[in-house]
A and B are shown apart, each in its own frame.
Chain A
Amino acid sequence: MRQDHIISAKQLSRRDIEAVLDRAAEIAADPSAYADRHEGSLLGLLFFEPSTRTKMSFSAAMKRLGGDIVDMGTVESSSVKKGESLADTVRVVEGYADALVLRHPSEGAAQMASEFVDAPLINAGDGAGQHPTQTLLDLYTIRENAGFDDLSIGIMGDLKYGRTVHSLAHALTVFDARQHFVSPESLQLPRSVRYDLHESGAEVREHTDLDDVLSELDVLYVTRIQKERFPDESEYHEVAGEYQIDAATIREHNEDLTVMHPLPRVDEIDHDVDELDGAQYFQQAHNGVPVRMALLDMVLEESR
């Protein structure tokens, strides 16, 4: 893989993605073989908005490779509060670490920051934009459970604002996947994502009713519909209720369904689904560690 920075899943070819997933599978099968692989290396964490879990997952990944982390801490305690630009911050922190992880509330922040540093920079989420490591761990989970050959996947919930959805949908276009998008009309895919899917020639269908496709899916990827997206609460409850799933529905229509969710969930997946074999959302979150280990291993190797 010849990538200095990991900004967007869009930059990754099928071969790049498979290389990361293969490495992650090797790591998951024998983590001890990687335990001191990056001893002495430091990963700089720049989280400009709170995302405790993504940060923990990156920290765990770096430490399980034998390396360590240096953490900028919260924005309140850093120079950013004094009005320092992001471009300046990353140029300073680059001197403290061998690779950087950036989470920022503005779209395009990682792209811009990467233009100012030589150390590999990994985007851990930029506003409503990209979150490539989430996409890679989603793909890993799909591959482990259903494989990519002749895959039929449903993606349900907030498709308009959900960045994990946009990134995943784009990444799936390089595989042989049929994508079904299930959402209320007001939360359908935005224009830029439709444009990409259309350009890639992906096989895509849109639905407002999960029943139309549930029985033919291998994987259902559920996302949360946020209250803030609706002008009033009653409308939210009316709409959100339509995009929930429970164990009885799965047993009745599609027993073999793999169910995924980027978490945290609220009530879009009923707790009774947790007992089913296909409930993979916790495993999906755990997969973030070997996938991030694989990615860190590759970018650190590359930058040597």
Chain B
Amino acid sequence: MSDDPELRVSKIRNGTVIDHISGGQALNVLAIIGIDGTSGEEVSVAMNIPSDRLGKKDIVKVEGRELSQNEVDVLSLIAPAATINIVREFDVAEKHRVERPGRVEGVLECPNRNCITTESEPVDSAFEVLDDGVRCEYCDTIIREDIAAHILVS
């Protein structure tokens, strides 16, 4: 097997390659984009590959899927160094760095069960992005660890 980490996982024809994910976060990235393998997508995952920039990094490749802006926003919270390559006909058609947004709306669920956003009101959750976490704009609750666990399941 080649030492080139790019070759350890299979090439894809059309889809998304998310590279430079912080080591160990690949499964959370898959959770964000709602992939658990049951719906048959072709998915390759490489974890804890040596990286000059990150020490260790993960790579996720998904055939036939491009990410939405909401997904990229949440991705940026758990994998701030990630790069997103959109692949078409085996070539990288677009390359994006994720950008940490100032706030994320409607993608995370507030863990405070007494927060108004968890009740049946016509309002989306909204979180301010801090240096080391996110903070509910309604009740001030801060999520610092395991942000991925709070992703809203739609």
Which residues of A pack against B, CB within 8 Å?
85-87, 104-109, 111-112, 115, 126-129, 191-192, 195
18 CB-based A-B contacts, threshold 8 Å? A85-B120, A86-B116, A86-B119, A107-B115, A107-B116, A107-B138, A107-B141, A108-B139, A109-B116, A111-B116, A111-B137, A112-B116, A112-B123, A126-B116, A129-B139, A129-B140, A191-B144, A192-B142
In Å, the complex CA distance between A105 and B112 comes to 13
B115 touches A108 (CB 8 A): yes
Question: Restricting to B114-151, which residues have a CB under 8 Å from any CB of A?
Answer: 114-117, 119-123, 130, 135-142, 144
Of all chain B residues, the one with the shortest Cβ separation from A105 is B114
Main secondary structure of the interface of B (DSSP, over half): loop
Looking at chain B, what size class is its interface with the partner chain? Answer: 20 to 34
A106 touches B114 (CB 8 A): yes
In Å, the complex CA distance between A191 and B144 comes to 10
A192 touches B140 (CB 8 A): yes
B116 touches A192 (CB 8 A): no
A87 touches B122 (CB 8 A): yes
A106 touches B115 (CB 8 A): yes
In Å, the complex CA distance between A106 and B137 comes to 14
Question: Restricting to B42-70, which residues have a CB under 8 Å from any CB of A?
Answer: none
Q: Which of B112, B139, B141 has the most CB of A within 10 A?
A: B139
In Å, the complex CA distance between A228 and B40 comes to 50
B142 touches A112 (CB 8 A): no
Of all chain B residues, the one with the shortest Cβ separation from A128 is B114
A107 touches B121 (CB 8 A): no
A108 touches B116 (CB 8 A): yes
Q: How far is the CB of A280 from chain B (nearest CB, A)?
A: 29
Q: With a CB–CB cut-off of 8 A, which chain A residues contact B120? A: 85
Q: With a CB–CB cut-off of 8 A, which chain A residues contact B144? A: 191
Q: How far is the CB of B122 from chain A (nearest CB, A)?
A: 5
B117 touches A112 (CB 8 A): yes
In Å, the complex CA distance between A107 and B121 comes to 13
B116 touches A115 (CB 8 A): no
Q: With a CB–CB cut-off of 8 A, which chain B residues contact A126? A: 116
The 9 closest A-B pairs by CB, nearest first: A108-B138, A107-B139, A108-B116, A108-B139, A106-B116, A192-B140, A109-B116, A112-B116, A192-B142
A85 touches B122 (CB 8 A): yes
Q: A192-B140, A192-B141 are in contact. Are A107 and B123 (CB under 8 A)?
A: no
In Å, the complex CA distance between A278 and B114 comes to 37
In Å, the complex CA distance between A14 and B114 comes to 30
